[in-house]
């Protein structure tokens, strides 16, 4: 659900401003509502193939087109881009947090589980490896080709990218977001839990509220030191994937030495308490590290979560049978 909400926010906060409000709102609403409708279509492989072909077409367009050279930006955009870059030493502190989230978040992804269950035997491993390690990685590596389109002042009075380039990137982003929302909503509704429909209703309500309710244009607090406030909400969303979700897998889902996993019994309740306390203690470190860009704070934040694992291990004074019975 968080992934679907993230893409909805991405559409409104990134794609819509890039279009300079020229018919962008109906297009964004069509992507959101269309992806929810698409989630009820039982042709996931066809949808995935069509989406990937669209993105490959965009890659070819950018490779053969005028591109987005940084040198063509106006002075204000170039200065803002330079101010946002972190020194290499600061980036090193980001690596453990990024690896932590990238390795553990897939275990909570229903779409990954469904893909593995739909393939027999060794093909499930090949499918996951190919999809996650090749196709998905290719989309990540494709990002630098159009990254400069997101500089803060492209939609201002400065130099604009070519219409063909901007249009191709918008099509790529819209197609990827629509497919991602549809796959996650399909997986969510496929659980058979009645709360899934409440989640869909909440998503639609959020879209309506975001579209029609007036929003105050409050300035970005200087302490956050970002020239573009879109990056702030983006990093806040990333906190789920950098802290909350991987911490849950690390402290609750991964079995202990005696085989206990999950939230069942007293052990499970204790794990949840440890999870909540460790996240509460680590969250300020992650805020300062990611939002306020003092990345060395990520070191103590990661240490809190990693060492919290010691508090969920089986106690040696308890017989393993008694623990298992809980």
Q: Which of 81-85, 143-147, 274-278 has the weakest average pLDDT?
A: 81-85
Please give the Cα distance from 13 to 167 (Å, whole number): 17
Please give the Cα distance from 73 to 80 (Å, whole number): 11
Q: Which of 41-55, 95-109, 207-221 has the weakest average pLDDT?
A: 207-221
Question: Taking Cα atoms as reference points, which of 217, 164, 177, 148 lies closest to residue 36?
Answer: 177
pLDDT grade for 81, boundaries at 50, 70 and 90: low
pLDDT grade for 301, boundaries at 50, 70 and 90: very high
pLDDT > 70 fraction of the chain, expressed in percent and rounded: 71
What's the confidence (pLDDT) of residue 20?
A: 53
Q: Which of 145-154, 156-165, 188-197, 238-247 has the weakest average pLDDT?
A: 156-165
Query: Under 8 Å CB-to-CB from 181, ≥6 apart: which residues?
Result: 4, 7, 8, 31, 32, 35, 36, 39
Residue pLDDT, tens place only, 146-157: 776 666 554 444
Contact 78, 70 (CB under 8 A): yes
Q: Does residue 253 have a pLDDT over 90?
A: yes
What's the confidence (pLDDT) of residue 281?
A: 96
How many CA atoms, within 13 angstroms, populate the side-chain half-sphere of residue 33? 10
Question: In this structure, what token pair is assigned to residue 184?
Answer: 């996650």
Average pLDDT of span 82-109: 82
Output 143 or 246, whichever has higher pLDDT. 246
Average pLDDT of span 129-145: 82
Residue pLDDT, tens place only, 258-295: 888 888 888 899 999 999 999 999 999 999 888 888 88
Please give the Cα distance from 183 to 38 (Å, whole number): 8
What's the confidence (pLDDT) of residue 67?
A: 53
């Amino acid at each position: 659900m968080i992934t679907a909400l993230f893409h909805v926010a991405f559409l409104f906060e990134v794609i819509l401003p890039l279009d300079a409000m020229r018919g962008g709102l109906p297009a964004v609403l069509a992507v959101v509502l269309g992806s929810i409708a698409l989630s009820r279509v039982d042709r996931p492989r066809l949808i995935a193939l069509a989406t990937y072909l669209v993105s490959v077409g965009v890659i070819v367009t950018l490779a053969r087109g005028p591109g987005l050279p940084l040198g063509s930006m106006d002075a204000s955009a170039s200065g803002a881009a330079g101010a946002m870059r972190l020194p290499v030493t600061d980036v090193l502190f980001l690596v453990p947090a990024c690896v932590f989230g990238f390795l553990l978040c897939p275990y909570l992804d229903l779409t990954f589980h469904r893909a593995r269950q739909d393939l027999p035997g060794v093909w499930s491993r090949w499918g996951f490896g190919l999809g996650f390690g090749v196709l998905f990685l290719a989309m990540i590596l494709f990002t630098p080709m159009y990254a400069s389109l997101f500089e803060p002042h492209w939609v201002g009075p400065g130099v604009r990218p070519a219409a063909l380039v901007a249009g191709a990137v918008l099509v790529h982003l819209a197609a990827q977001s629509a497919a991602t929302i549809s796959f996650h909503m399909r997986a969510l509704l496929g659980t058979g839990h009645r709360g899934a429909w409440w989640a869909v209703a909440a998503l639609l309500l959020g879209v309506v509220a975001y579209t029609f309710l007036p929003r105050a244009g409050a300035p970005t607090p200087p302490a956050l030191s970002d020239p573009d406030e879109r990056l702030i909400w983006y990093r806040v969303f990333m906190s789920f994937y950098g802290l909350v979700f991987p911490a849950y897998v690390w402290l609750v889902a991964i079995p202990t030495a005696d085989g206990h996993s999950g939230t069942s019994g007293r052990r499970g309740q204790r794990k949840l308490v440890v999870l909540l306390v460790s996240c509460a203690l680590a969250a300020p470190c992650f805020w300062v590290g990611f939002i306020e860009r003092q990345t060395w704070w990520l070191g103590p934040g990661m240490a809190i979560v990693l060492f919290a694992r010691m508090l969920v291990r089986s106690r040696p004074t308890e017989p393993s049978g008694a623990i298992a019975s809980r």
